[in-house]
Amino acid sequence: MENKELIKQVTEKAEKWLTPAYDAEIQAEVKRMLENPDKTELIDSFYKDLEFGTGGLRGIMGAGTNRINIYTVGAATQGLSNYLNKCFAGKDQISVVVGFDCRNNSDKYAKISADIFSANGIKVYLFDDLRPTPEVSFAIRHFGCQSGINITASHNPREYNGYKAYWDDGAQVLSPHDNGIIEEVNKVTVADIKFKGNHDLIQVIGKDVDQLYLDMVHSISIDPEVIKRQKDLSIVYTPLHGAGRVLIPDSLKEWGFENVNCVPEQMIKDGNFPTVVSPNPENAEALSMAIALAKKIDADIVMASDPDADRVGMACKDSKGEWVLINGNQTCLIFLYYIIKNRIAMGKMKSNDFIVKTIVTTELIKVVADKNKVEMRDSYTGFKWIAREIRLSEGKQQYIGGGEESYGFLAEDFVRDKDAVSACSLLAEICAWAKDQGKTLYDVLMDIYVEYGYSKETTVNVVKPGKSGAEEIKAMMDNFRANPPKEIGGSAVSLIKDYQTLKQMDATGKAIELDMPESSNVLQYFTEDGTKISVRPSGTEPKIKFYIEVKGEMECPKCYVGADAEAEKKVEAVRKSLGI
């Protein structure tokens, strides 16, 4: 890269990392980059500062201001400490939970963070080993802490690590605290970071919290009797080398399942994720070893959790006995269908129970909720928004489940983030319930489509890298706002929702306010034939995302192939209309 001005800027920035404020290992890495004639790595590591965003930090590990390392993690923790000491100034003892997953350096960053919190007078509950993200959320609430962090990059590739920040309700931080923390983090210099911990303020926690959490997870079982009848349900599970290995097999056992088969090679804690290309349970490739084991033992269900065990991916046999993946929309739909149907059947449903989905998740969930007279709420993408709905109704209404199309689900309110531990356990119960009726999970999905209508969801990512790409994405969003489509895929647009202006407009031009907590750069179009298109720029990657949902009818389970083919034609027509 021959941009001399940029090279000069990053060289000056990098040379500051050769001072005694930084350790020898980091200095050696920076020196190597400076001496390398190819300046690509140097530029990438120093051309900007890794931003502490509303969800915390996420980035590639290494030396540099745009990398995850002990100094960027240290600045985040020092800034959060400063904000906590400011926010809870009158409190005798501020406390936090610190957790971490299987990633390389996660334990190191967690221990350094614990030292920094304690050096700032904050009591720390530090997990003794890797734990699922939802257990960190649970522990914050259990210990009555003011905040907490988990060191994880979720399902990102092995080069990445990250830092999830939580508030006192166990949910990821929302306004005004998110902006307050960001402001404090941005003020921190390396000299401000208090690395020398006060070990009197650090309490190591582990199995005691595990058991409390597992007992609470078990309390959400809707039909324990069906599990007793189907305790031999054949389950294949993989943690993809991550934190799920600690608790998910134990949770399944506590629920009463006796035939749990873990993929042995992937039960090994390893931040290099040697058996997968990417540790993402959304990807078919990540489940290939689990499916191979399932075929070998003729299992009933395959389930996988990502490295921090907050999301679940699954596969089951179709009507021909072939293993197929259940996508994120179908996952959320199946969970909520089962919860509603069986809470009603068991006499557990209350008139003020409610569920939540995100605005880009399938509208079929609303059809199920409406038909069963259950309140459904829409929230923005991200579990902090689902957690907000739980908090707003605490003590007045009971949350019974919620999720999003990106494979996250939360079946309980004692955790305030998506939870693969409870989701895997509940999934096993759904499969037991299906098997009790001589059905599979796939049959349950077909039953939903026959009763409530068929729906097909497709996400299209249009990647636009770099500064010019960001400008192009902005221009695309501006154009959609200035020139909204009149028809999409051959069907007239009947409703437009603009979450930036918080207005919705019908075909007559009549506008009404959208009731959302804040504005967001999302557009939605609804057409007369039931199609829904959501458009939004990604908050973390250089792309614009199109979520397409088309509707169809299914008279019988065997009609699925035809309904799917018709829906695919509609999807193609929509793509053509939108030029994607």
Pairing of strands 260-262, 235-238: parallel
| CA nearest neighbour of 108 among 157, 61, 175, 42 | 61
Place of tokens 């001005």: 5
- The token duo for 362 is 């399938």
Which DSSP helix (H) or strand (E) runs through 356?
strand 354-358
Cα separation, 424 vs 202, in Å, equals 32
- Set 81, 113, 137, 154: catalytic member: 154
Tell me whether residue 154 is one of the annotated catalytic residues: yes
Give backbone dihedrals phi and psi of 491, rounded to 5 degrees, phi first. Answer: -120, 135
- Looking at this protein, which amino acid is placed at residue 552? G
Cα separation, 353 vs 348, in Å, equals 10
Pairing of strands 354-358, 375-379: parallel
Report which DSSP code applies to 27: H
Q: Is 185 helix (H, G, I), strand (E, B) or coil?
A: helix
* Cβ neighbourhood burial of 478 (10 Å; 0-12, 13-18, 19+): exposed
Are 418 and 401 contacting, i.e. CB atoms less than 8 angstroms apart?
no
Cα separation, 431 vs 149, in Å, equals 34
- The token duo for 437 is 């009726």
Are 151 and 121 contacting, i.e. CB atoms less than 8 angstroms apart?
no
Which DSSP helix (H) or strand (E) runs through 500?
none
| CA nearest neighbour of 417 among 55, 148, 133 | 133
Q: Is 207 helix (H, G, I), strand (E, B) or coil?
A: helix
- Looking at this protein, which amino acid is placed at residue 551? K
Residues with a catalytic annotation lie at 154
